[in-house]
A and B are shown apart, each in its own frame.
Chain A
Amino acid sequence: MNAPLRVDAYGAVKASLSHTTLAVPGMHCAGCMGKVERALAALGGVASARTNLTARTVEVVHEAQVGLPALVAALGAIGFEAQLREAEAAPVSAVRPLLAPLGVAAFACMNVMLLSVSVWSGAEGSTRQLFHWISALIAVPAIVYAGRPFFASALKVLRHGKTNMDVPISIGVVIATALSFYETLTGGAEAWFDGVLMLLMFLLAGRVLDAMMRDRARSGVDALLRQAASGAMVIAADGQARWVEAKALHPGMVMRVAAGERLAADGEVVRGTTRFDQSLLTGESAPVQAGPGAQVHAGTLNADAPVDVRVSAAGQDTALAEIARLMDVAGQSRSRYVRIADRASRLYAPAVHTLAALTFAGWMLAGAGVYHALVVAIAVLIITCPCALGLAVPVAQVVAAGALMKRGVLVKDGSALERMAAVDRLLLDKTGTLTVGRPVPDEAALDVLPDAEAAVALALASHSRHPLSLGLARALAQRGVRAAVLEDVSEVPGKGVTARWNGIAVALGRPLSAYGMATALRVEGGPVRVIPFADALRPDTDAALAQLAAMGVQASILSGDAAPAVATVARATGLTAQAAASPAEKQAAIERLMDSGRTVLMAGDGLNDGPALAAANASIAPGSASDVGRQAADMVFTGESLLAIPRAITVARKTMRVVRQNFALAIGYNLLAVPLAMAGQVTPLIAAIAMSTSSLVVVANSLRLAGAAR
């Protein structure tokens, strides 16, 4: 509808249009994309809105007078939280820089292969020379361009005196290209351009697959700091209120925090009494009472009433920023993990280079000329170039990740599967991981509720956003209860919902004698119905724990919650438990286990699990987890069932088995081809056939994983 605006006075209008990129973390499907784009396009003054599902952003082109608040409000109205994406938070794609080299390698490979086929089928003399020259003209620039990712990486590790898979690749590619170019110049019979390009193409394809998985992993730390509010209403000494950005807050200022607002800094309550939802920090689902003098933390949510809070720590000094730092440090220890492909190349590269050197020496001793000995040695290097090895790991991991995704487990990183396969110890967070993380009303209490009262309860509960109300409404709706028609509905924060039903006063609120989590339904003239709530265990918990035990994975609970709540769950599951653990203590517990030689899998959901998720050998989070939990974990399972955890471990182990088979196949091919090469019997034709066959065999073997998650 705004399209004419752009077309009519393109130059003039374009100058006054501004671009805004908003992060919309809640967008995850086609329906969301459509809603977001339509809501923004319907706004006056917006020329276009285009979502990016991979980056979870929307780019809006709009007139300058349409402000950021209007855009955020428009998305808020349809239920999407949005915020301005900071420029430095732009996710760097690992795939994109590899696509252009892959395209060039594929183009050059196909054309050179075409020319090579004519040479192999008997082109002679000047025709062969012409074909070699054309091949060289295409191949040399293409190899220089497409080989850059490998050359750069090889140079980098060599400078540090180490080696990785890129070193033998680069040496093989450079030497084979130089030899082929020399052959072309001198009118020789054999050029290896096609083999080199095919090698690069297969390897780049492997890298692209690997990078696609890595792109899904996002930095956990960025998401963490976004949990704090962007600013606060600060009350000056003269009573004047003004909005101050979070980074401009400093100790001593007094913030007025409305109900439903998140704290922007740590502080002490000076006026008012309320309850704070601290689930972000502690993982505890029930809000905590806070009156004057109570310490409260940035990122926690004011649940009930407005309060004044004096800032005691802001910015980098808050407890939230401390967790971010812990996660940052914990993540670094994981990045020291050496991937299996690189471990293999530590053995592979020296072996291959020794073989080539031995071949050269052998032929020299046997009386061949330097040129002949060199050509044979180079043929050994080319034939051992790790073409199939480059595909052995990424193809298997991508196929396995696809299989897991179909069963509701998202794998963010290929190395996650490697690390997951080795785990023998599982630590489970309680709230939200072992349990569903939301209050579920007691079934027995609902059973005794008369139908009419159940209808009233559902109607009352549906008017509140309180966690207990949400849980009650959900459970009653599942039982097929239809809501009664109410009048004069009003909600008093901290007290409950009141209304009139057919002229009778009804209320849903806190029971007089509270034991644990409960709500009371009061219908005038009837008895008070108390409905207790509990945080229910996830479905299939027993089956999942039994499977884990059978797999040799020892499980226990590691919770930030108070001891009594943890003890209940520990009894129900028969697991040992550590309660009241702070984020740093959770991390320390994991490091102790790792130091004693265990390979630890952490399953957690809350922000307080962030450092633990980042520190463990591998980690998994439920889809309902906090942003930070999802970001820090290697895997995310979207369903309710806890069976996802044993399934992920099973598939990871199967994947590693296939990866090892792939290595065996790739090395087995070398065992056949290397003696041939050392004997000087390998021609470019044989090299091309051997290379493509071994790659296809490895890919075919990896495809067997497609059904692994069943």
Chain B
Amino acid sequence: MNGLAFMLPIALGMGLFGLGAFFWALRRGQFSDLDGAAARILIEDDEDVPE
């Protein structure tokens, strides 16, 4: 049962870390343009490619 004293805080800490990361991403506006994020990967970097 002594293991619990370590495992519980570790488990909760990892969960809280994930939650904190989610809130950080939310505040940085990473969820404000989901359509754009999906399309952004298709943007051509080479400008001189003829269309």
Chains A and B belong together in one complex: yes
- Could you list which residues of chain A lie within 8 angstroms of chain B, going by C-beta atoms? 29-31, 33-34, 37-38, 51-55, 93, 95-96, 99-100, 103-104, 107, 110-111, 114, 127, 130, 134, 138
Among A29, A30, A55, A114, chain B packs the most CB atoms within 10 A around the CB of A30
Known: A30-B39, A53-B39, A96-B31. 5 other contacts (CB 8 A): A33-B43, A55-B33, A95-B31, A100-B23, A114-B11
Per DSSP, are chain A's interface residues mostly helix, strand or loop, or mixed? helix
Report chain A residues within 8 Å CB of B35.
53-54
Report chain B residues within 8 Å CB of A34.
43-45
Report chain A residues within 8 Å CB of B19.
103-104, 107
Q: Are B44 and A31 in contact (CB under 8 A)?
A: yes
Q: B36 an interface residue at 8 Å Cβ cutoff?
A: yes
A53, B38: Cα distance in complex, Å: 10
Contact with A along B30-51 (1 / 0, CB 8 A): 0111111001111111010000
Q: Are B32 and A93 in contact (CB under 8 A)?
A: yes
Report chain A residues within 8 Å CB of B40.
30, 33
Q: Are A103 and B22 in contact (CB under 8 A)?
A: yes
Q: Are B34 and A107 in contact (CB under 8 A)?
A: no
* Residue in contact with B15 in the complex, picked from A54, A107, A130, CB distance below 8 Å: A107
Report chain B residues within 8 Å CB of A29.
39, 42
Report chain A residues within 8 Å CB of B36.
33, 51-54
Report chain B residues within 8 Å CB of A33.
36, 39-40, 43
Report chain A residues within 8 Å CB of B8.
134
> What are some 25 contacts across the A-B interface (CB < 8 A)?
A30-B40, A30-B41, A31-B43, A33-B36, A33-B39, A33-B40, A33-B43, A34-B43, A54-B33, A55-B33, A95-B31, A96-B26, A96-B31, A99-B31, A103-B19, A103-B22, A107-B15, A107-B16, A107-B18, A107-B19, A111-B12, A111-B15, A127-B4, A130-B4, A138-B12
Q: Are A54 and B26 in contact (CB under 8 A)?
A: no
**How many residues from B make CB contacts under 8 Å with A?**
26
A95, B30: Cα distance in complex, Å: 13
**Inter-chain contact count A-B, CB under 8 Å?**
64
Report chain B residues within 8 Å CB of A55.
32-33
Report chain B residues within 8 Å CB of A93.
32
* Residue in contact with B43 in the complex, picked from A30, A54, A107, CB distance below 8 Å: A30
A626, B33: Cα distance in complex, Å: 24
Whole-angstrom distance from the CB of B49 to the nearest CB of chain A? 11
A53, B47: Cα distance in complex, Å: 20
Q: Which 9 pairs, one residue from A and one from B, show the smallest C-beta to C-beta distance?
A: A53-B36, A30-B42, A34-B43, A30-B39, A52-B33, A107-B19, A53-B35, A103-B22, A54-B35
Given contact pairs A31-B43, A33-B40, A53 touches B33 in the complex (Cβ within 8 A)? yes
A29, B19: Cα distance in complex, Å: 32
Report chain A residues within 8 Å CB of B41.
30
Report chain A residues within 8 Å CB of B16.
107
Report chain B residues within 8 Å CB of A107.
15-16, 18-19, 22
Q: Are B32 and A52 in contact (CB under 8 A)?
A: yes
Given contact pairs A30-B42, A99-B26, A107-B18, A54 touches B34 in the complex (Cβ within 8 A)? yes
A33, B35: Cα distance in complex, Å: 11
Residue of B nearest to A32 (CB): B39
Q: Are B15 and A127 in contact (CB under 8 A)?
A: no
Report chain A residues within 8 Å CB of B45.
34
Report chain A residues within 8 Å CB of B34.
54
Whole-angstrom distance from the CB of A210 to the nearest CB of chain B? 15
Report chain A residues within 8 Å CB of B12.
111, 134, 138
Among B1, B16, B35, B41, chain A packs the most CB atoms within 10 A around the CB of B35
Report chain B residues within 8 Å CB of A111.
11-12, 15
Report chain A residues within 8 Å CB of B4.
127, 130
A134, B15: Cα distance in complex, Å: 14
Residue of B nearest to A42 (CB): B47
Whole-angstrom distance from the CB of B5 to the nearest CB of chain A? 10
Whole-angstrom distance from the CB of B12 to the nearest CB of chain A? 6
Given contact pairs A30-B40, A103-B19, A103-B23, A96 touches B32 in the complex (Cβ within 8 A)? yes
Whole-angstrom distance from the CB of A410 to the nearest CB of chain B? 12
A29, B43: Cα distance in complex, Å: 9
Given contact pairs A52-B36, A55-B33, A103 touches B26 in the complex (Cβ within 8 A)? yes
A110, B19: Cα distance in complex, Å: 12
Residue of B nearest to A53 (CB): B36
A652, B28: Cα distance in complex, Å: 37
Report chain B residues within 8 Å CB of A37.
43
Report chain A residues within 8 Å CB of B47.
38
Report chain A residues within 8 Å CB of B43.
30-31, 33-34, 37
Report chain B residues within 8 Å CB of A104.
19
Whole-angstrom distance from the CB of B23 to the nearest CB of chain A? 7
Whole-angstrom distance from the CB of B33 to the nearest CB of chain A? 4
Q: Are B15 and A110 in contact (CB under 8 A)?
A: yes
Whole-angstrom distance from the CB of A79 to the nearest CB of chain B? 12
Q: Are B18 and A100 in contact (CB under 8 A)?
A: no
Report chain A residues within 8 Å CB of B15.
107, 110-111
Whole-angstrom distance from the CB of A383 to the nearest CB of chain B? 27
Report chain A residues within 8 Å CB of B1.
127
Report chain A residues within 8 Å CB of B22.
103, 107
Report chain B residues within 8 Å CB of A103.
19, 22-23, 26
Whole-angstrom distance from the CB of A437 to the nearest CB of chain B? 26
* Residue in contact with A54 in the complex, picked from B11, B18, B32, CB distance below 8 Å: B32
Whole-angstrom distance from the CB of A651 to the nearest CB of chain B? 22
A51, B39: Cα distance in complex, Å: 11
A51, B32: Cα distance in complex, Å: 11
A103, B20: Cα distance in complex, Å: 10
A130, B7: Cα distance in complex, Å: 14
Report chain B residues within 8 Å CB of A130.
4
Residue of A nearest to B8 (CB): A134
Whole-angstrom distance from the CB of B1 to the nearest CB of chain A? 7
A10, B22: Cα distance in complex, Å: 28
Whole-angstrom distance from the CB of B47 to the nearest CB of chain A? 6
